[in-house]
Amino acid sequence: MESFSLILAIVVVTALVFDFTNGFHDTANAMATTISTGALKPKVAVAMSAVLNLVGAFLSVEVANTISKGLVDETGIRPEVIFAALVGAILWNLLTWLVGLPSSSSHALMGGLIGATIASAGFGAVHGDVLVTKVLIPAVVAPLVAGLAAMLATRLTYTLGKKADGKASEKGYRAGQIASAGLVSLAHGTNDAQKTMGIITLALVAGGTIAPDSDPPTWVILSAGVAIALGTYLGGWRIIRTMGKGLTDLQPQQGFAAQTSAATVILASSHLGFSLSTTHSVSGSVMGAGLGRKGGVVRWSTATRMFVAWGLTLPAAAMVGAIAEYVTGFGAWGTALVAVFLVASSAAIWKLSRREVVDHTNVNETGEPAGVVTTAMAAVTPPPTGAVAEEFAATVPAPATEPATSPATTV
């Protein structure tokens, strides 16, 4: 512990913040369909998901190091690189949350890591083929598989269940949805909480605090589990609304088919060695369920915005990660500047979100907050060059908020 440097502390805190955003960004994956069909009350749903995420974090001892393994050369990893990667990932997560678009937290993290590594060690340090097989193909395949499965399952359940009505069927579909949503939550806890544990452990190894190849310390497991559970409980209501109501209108049968398909795809893919993103699977299965019902519609405008966000996730997070890494290269004050920028822009995004509050009381209302969405979309859609300008514009007021970093470093 004596060699626990300041930068290491910052990295750990930032990783936990990322874990937190990961939790509330991905609540929608497990619970959006359950909430929109009314199977569970919104608060109950997120509480259940939070508990299962926490449990999931403790279930497996094998660290899912998929993010750091293979994608970039570990030799180039310094704590600053990880810090820069996390900054990119957090900002992208917050931005997509503001617009209410589901996007993969893992892709954001990978993007940040790639960008930071490129800025630190050059393009040669990124393995392009791993990028294609681990990121690009899964992003296309996941929604297709989950969507097709959900569509067929929805058709089947409507055909077979023609004669099912009354209390029994209502209760049945409710129980089914809760069970499959619980599975998704549990799987999410084991996967995503572990990613953060892996990142923190990697940072600790890179900083020389713990020996290479050691298991994550107990406090890392505990804090990562708590961070993701807390984030899940707070709930990314904006994304839940998009996923549960924005893409299509779900009936209990569809919600059940969609969630079952998502749970199956997630488990099958991680077990068969072709890991697919939870977010992509769930979005795909929701759309598939929408197409599967007679008279069901998918709102392709919302879906298109979501696809655009998926496509931008990696480059945008990479861009921010690269810039952050470049700035931290100037030494301690550069790192401080990035930390201040992160805090300031997170605060700004939160402030923007307060203009149009979405929470558990209005999560199922379909009326889209046109003002915030359109203005925020304008900030998302321009190509990455826009992000650069934004970065420099936003760093200007940084010195004024300097004290903001001190709480983070003392934790």
Partner 1 sequence: MKIDWAALGSVFGVSLVVTVALVGLFTLGITGLSRHERATAQGGSAALAVTAAYACFAACAAAVAYGIYLIVA
Alpha-carbon span 319 to 176, nearest angstrom = 42
Stretch that binds partner 1, among 86-94, 141-149, 242-250, 389-397 (CB under 8 A): 141-149
CA distances from 306 to 8, 47, 86 (A): 35, 26, 22
70 is a contact residue toward partner 1 (CB under 8 A): no
Contact with partner 1 (CB under 8 A): which of 3, 5, 60, 366? 60
193 is a contact residue toward partner 1 (CB under 8 A): no
CA atoms lying within 13 Å on the CB side of residue 136: 8
165 is a contact residue toward partner 1 (CB under 8 A): yes
Cβ at position 81, least distance to partner 1 in Å: 25
47 is a contact residue toward partner 1 (CB under 8 A): no
The owner of tokens 């979309």 is 377
Contact with partner 1 (CB under 8 A): which of 2, 123, 163, 406? 163
Alpha-carbon span 225 to 232, nearest angstrom = 11
129 is a contact residue toward partner 1 (CB under 8 A): yes
22 is a contact residue toward partner 1 (CB under 8 A): no
Cβ at position 34, least distance to partner 1 in Å: 15
Cβ at position 245, least distance to partner 1 in Å: 22
- Provide the H-helix boundaries in 293-384: 300-328, 332-353, 370-380
In our burial notation (b when 16+ CB lie closer than 10 A, e otherwise), range 263-285 reads bbbbeebbeeeebbbbbbbbbbb
Residues 245-284, one symbol each (x = binds partner 1 by CB under 8 A, - = not), give -----------xx--xx-xxx-xxxxxxxx-x--------
Alpha-carbon span 295 to 43, nearest angstrom = 31
296 is a contact residue toward partner 1 (CB under 8 A): no
152 is a contact residue toward partner 1 (CB under 8 A): yes
How many residues form the binding site for partner 1 (CB under 8 A)?
52
Contact with partner 1 (CB under 8 A): which of 32, 50, 72, 186? 186
30 is a contact residue toward partner 1 (CB under 8 A): no
Alpha-carbon span 366 to 355, nearest angstrom = 17
CA distances from 168 to 35, 172, 275 (A): 20, 6, 36
Residue closer to partner 1, measured from CB, 64 or 84: 64
CA distances from 132 to 147, 168, 240, 312, 358 (A): 22, 47, 29, 15, 36
176 is a contact residue toward partner 1 (CB under 8 A): yes
> For the chain, first and last CA: distance in Å?
14
Alpha-carbon span 131 to 408, nearest angstrom = 33
294 is a contact residue toward partner 1 (CB under 8 A): no
> For binding to partner 1 (CB under 8 A), which residues are involved?
56, 59-60, 128-129, 132-133, 137, 141, 145-146, 148-150, 152-154, 156-157, 160-161, 163-169, 172-173, 176, 179, 183, 186-187, 190, 256-257, 260-261, 263-265, 267-274, 276
